[in-house]
Amino acid sequence: MSLPIAVLISGSGSNLQALINKMEDEILDVDIKMVLSNRADAYGLKRAQAYGIPTAVLSHKDFSSREDFDTEMVRILKEAEVEAVVMAGFMRIITPVFLNAFPGKIINIHPALLPCFTGVDGQGEAAEYGVQIAGCTVHFVDEKMDHGAVIIQAAVPAYPGEDPDDLRARILEQEHRILPQATQWLAQKRLTMNGRFVELEESDIEPAALDNKSLVNPPLEGRF
Ligand code: GAR
C-alpha cells in the first residue's frame, strides 16, 4: 500500500515534480494527499493541480505565532489522512506542535552538505566560501533548523569563481534524485533512526547506474 504523504513547498516545486515523476514511473510508492504552500504564488501549486493533487495555501502571515500556524497545518494534513511529510523547499521553521503530530515521519531536503551552510541560501554560501565540493542532504526533521539525522547525501564538484547558478543547477539535479529515493525508503519503512544515525535496511534491489557527476551515499537503488 502506498504511503499517504503531504509535500510542503514555498516556491517552484521542482523537487515536488521530481517526486511526481517517480510516482508516474511507478518507482515511488507514495500517494500525495496534499501539497501545502505558505505562499499563494508558489509555482509548485500549479504543478500539483496539473496532476489533480489537492492543494492548500496557508499564509504564515495570517497567524500570530508559529504554533498557531503549525496547529492549522496539522489539522489540514490530518483531515487529508496524511501519515508522513516531505518538506521540499518549504522555507519555514516548524515547532514541536507539527513534529509531534508526525513523529519520525517528517523529512527535508537541504541544498548543502549538512552541517555546513544551513538556512536559506546554502548553495550561494558554498559558492562564496570557495568550497571544492558541495552537495545536498535529505534528513529527518527535528526541532532545530537543518539539523535532524541524515538519511542521504549527494556531493558534487564546485569550481573556483563559477557562476553560483551553475553550482545551484548541479546540486538541484542531485536533489531530484536523492529526495525521491529517501521518500521511497521512508515508504518502504527501511529507515531506522538511532540517535543521530539513520540505518537503512538492506534490500536486494540493484544499485542505480552511477552518473559520474556525483558521489551519493547510501548509494541510490534501481531507477533512482
Ligand atoms: C531546493 O533547492 C531546496 O533544497 C531548497 O529550496 C529549493 C526549492 O526548490 N530548500 C532549502 O533551502 C531549505 N532550507 P524547488 O521549489 O524547485 O523544489
Instruction: Report the b/e string of 33-57 with b at 16+ CB within 10 A.
Output: bbbbbbbeebebbebbeeeebebbe
Residue with grid cell 551519493, as numbered in its chain: 216
Answer whether 9 contacts ligand 1 (Cβ < 6 A).
yes
Question: Percentage of residues in the chain with pLDDT exceeding 90?
Answer: 98
Answer whether 123 contacts ligand 1 (Cβ < 6 A).
no
Mean pLDDT confidence for 32-48: 98
In this prediction, residue 1 carries a pLDDT of: 86
* Higher local confidence (pLDDT), 183 or 211: 183
For residue 35, the CA-to-ligand 1 centroid distance in Å is 15
Burial status of residue 177 (CB atoms within 10 A of its CB: 0-12, 13-18, 19 or more)? buried
Q: Note the maximum CA span of the chain.
A: 50
Q: Among 15, 35, 165, which is best to mutate for testing ligand 1, by the most ligand atoms less than 8 A from CB?
A: 15
Atom of ligand 1 nearest to the CA of 119: 14
Reduced to 3 states, what is the DSSP secondary structure of residue 3? strand
Atom of ligand 1 nearest to the CA of 136: 4
Residue with CA closest to ligand 1 atom 8: 89
Residues 93, 111: Cα–Cα separation, whole Å: 16
Domains of the chain: 1-103 (3.40.50.170), 111-137+153-224 (3.40.50.170)
Catalytic status, residue 110: yes
Mean pLDDT confidence for 193-218: 95
- State the DSSP H helix or E strand holding residue 31, giving kind and residue range, or none if neither: strand 30-37
| The pLDDT of residue 182 is above 90 | yes
For residue 80, the CA-to-ligand 1 centroid distance in Å is 24
In this prediction, residue 211 carries a pLDDT of: 87
Reduced to 3 states, what is the DSSP secondary structure of residue 61? helix
Q: What is the DSSP string of 110-151?
A: ESS-TTSS-STTHHHHHHHHT-SEEEEEEEE--SSTT-SPEE
In this prediction, residue 224 carries a pLDDT of: 96
CB 74 within 8 A of CB 63: no
